[in-house]
Amino acid sequence: MPWSDNPHTLIGVIADDLTGQNATGILLRRRGFRTASLTGMEWPSDGLPGYDCVCVNTDSRALPARKAYDRVARAAAMIRAHQGRPLAKRIDSTLRGNLGAELEAVLNAIGPASVAVVTGAFPASGRTTRGGNLYVGGVLLAETAVRHDPRRPITESHVPTLLAAQTQFPVGYLALDVVRAGAEAVAPALRKQAKDGIRMICADAETDEDITAIGMGMALSGLCAVAADPGPLTAAYVAALTAHRRRRVMVVTGSVALNTVEQLALLERELGAHLVTVDAGALARGEQVAEREITRVVDLLAAIPRDTAVMGVKTSPLMNLPDQEAAELIAAGFAELTARSLQSMPDIAGMYTSGGDITLAVCRRLGATAINLVEEILPLAVAGRLLGGIHPDLYVVTKGGLVGGPDAAVRCVNHILKEVQHHD
């Protein structure tokens, strides 16, 4: 399986300072990726469950090149040791630091067929590249204040020349006219340079559209590529490379009220939701009978095609109203199958629950200590993010079982889809 098809794979970003790392991380977050920014080079003891991206700070900008290489190599090895793939090397937007040495470290960690696509462009911050030169607010880089930087003065504006002076790897150039021809032109141009042995390709970009074309071209090229930039290209590349990964929503409802039945029927018709019916009577019997039903439902959910954006569970009708003990067993069963499904399907990025008992049981099973409330979707239907537990930051909408008109579930789930899908 290609790594980009595997939703378990963490996307790794390596940066030489913390503030720049955070700047790149927030661009990924805006694209819908749950991103953790590590303050050091130690992996969190409790791991990073529920995260898509991890940013690692090597604090190496002012180090000698050899030491910077070693730190970046350690960071790349740490990411790979935790089922991650370094996809980006964050560089300073004025090209300070050990660009050549640190890119060599990343590429050596990934493999001999890897390439880096390098640009200092960050159009929203006035950084553009044209003719291979980096401009800051329309001024050539070497004519700005960084020429007098006390630690790392920059006296070269031509990015390929600057980079070639710092690395033994062959350096290439992707001109603006190729970029402006679109991703379909960028991809073969990158492949040709890679075939010719170029390992670092410096790309021109003046607009966000140029950045998008480069990122999409990288994804289309099929190359084992790394984005080396101040952030926008990283976000565009990661979004393009993982566009086929659907950010799915899980529906968990245990109500048999007529309005809930109508809401779910409309959800299935309008959004193509695939809902598995749970035998509530089996859950109410507990023990082995409940376990068999939970296993059956989890297996059915796992078999739903990955391109199904909305999936989940609904309950079967009950012949008799359950007593308190049976109701608790039913809620616990729904909570257990939800937890197992979330564990086996990490592409689920949002959850819609209906009914107070079910919602509470699910939150407790997931170990959430609270819900960070975000907004009201409709009366008595509220959006938020789980705090703590085994799925921190999971986006949820909770709704009372007897609340809303026929389109209530559709409105709630559409809201979740808009929130969790990758977006600009």
CA distance 270 to 266: 6
Range of weakest confidence among 1-15, 123-137, 162-176, 181-195: 1-15
Bridge partners for 224 per DSSP: 114
Check whether residue 232 and residue 253 sit in a common domain. no
Q: Do 81 and 182 belong to one domain?
A: yes
One domain, residues 182 and 318: no
Last residue of a domain, which of 222, 241, 260?
Answer: 241
Give yes or no: residues 223 and 261 share one domain: no
Statement to judge: residues 159 and 305 lie in one domain:
no
d(CA 411, CA 212): 31
**Is the pLDDT reported for residue 423 higher than 50?**
no
Per the prediction, the chain carries an average pLDDT of 91
The CATH number for 25's domain is 3.40.50.10840
Task: Supply the pLDDT for residue 424.
Answer: 37
Which pLDDT does position 244 carry in this prediction?
A: 58
Among the candidates 214, 241, 268, a domain finishes at 241
Helices in 156-272 by DSSP H: which ranges?
A: 159-164, 176-180, 183-195, 208-221, 232-241, 258-271
What is the total count of domains within the chain?
Answer: 2
Residues 191 and 298 in one domain: no
pLDDT in tens, 146-178: 999 888 889 999 999 999 999 999 999 999 999
pLDDT > 70 fraction of the chain, expressed in percent and rounded: 94
Does pLDDT of 5 surpass 60? no
Over the stretch 391-404, which tens digit does the pLDDT of each residue have? 888 999 999 888 89
- Statement to judge: residues 353 and 254 lie in one domain: yes
| Comparison of pLDDT for 305 and 188, the residue scoring more | 188
Shared domain for 62 and 178, answered yes or no, is: yes
| Beta bridge partners of residue 288, listed in sequence order | none
pLDDT score for 60: 96
* Cβ neighbours for 215, distance < 8 A, ≥ 6 positions apart: 227, 233, 235, 236, 237, 238, 239, 240
Q: Which pLDDT does position 422 carry in this prediction?
A: 46
Report the pLDDT value the prediction gives residue 52, as an integer from 0 to 100.
Answer: 85
Q: Which residue from 161, 258, 175 is spatially nearest to 214, judged by alpha carbons?
A: 175
- Chosen domain end from 185, 207, 241: 241
- pLDDT for 420: 82
User: For residue 204, which phi and psi values (nearest 5 degrees)?
Assistant: -80, 145
Q: What is the pLDDT, as a whole number, of residue 287?
A: 92
pLDDT for res 19: 95
Q: What CATH number corresponds to the domain at position 361? A: 3.40.980.20
Confidence label for 6 from pLDDT (cuts 50, 70 and 90): low
The percentage of residues in the chain with a pLDDT greater than 90, rounded to a whole number, is: 75
> Would you state the pLDDT for residue 257?
85
Q: Are residues 256 and 144 in the same domain?
A: no
Lowest mean pLDDT, pick from 58-62, 121-125, 323-327? 323-327
Q: Is 390 a residue whose pLDDT tops 90?
A: no
Cβ atoms 27, 12 nearer than 8 A: no
Q: Do 208 and 260 have their domain in common?
A: no
Q: What is the pTM of this model?
A: 0.64
Q: How many CA atoms lie within 13 A of 114 on its CB side?
A: 19
Kindly state whether residues 269 and 394 are assigned to the same domain: yes
Q: Domain containing 383: what range?
A: 248-420
pLDDT digits (tens, 9 = 90+) for 214-273: 999 999 999 999 999 999 999 999 988 886 565 789 999 988 888 999 999 999 999 999
Please tell me the predicted confidence (pLDDT) of residue 243: 67
**Euclidean distance between CA atoms 137 and 123, whole angstroms:** 9
Is residue 421 over pLDDT 70? no
Shared domain for 203 and 83, answered yes or no, is yes
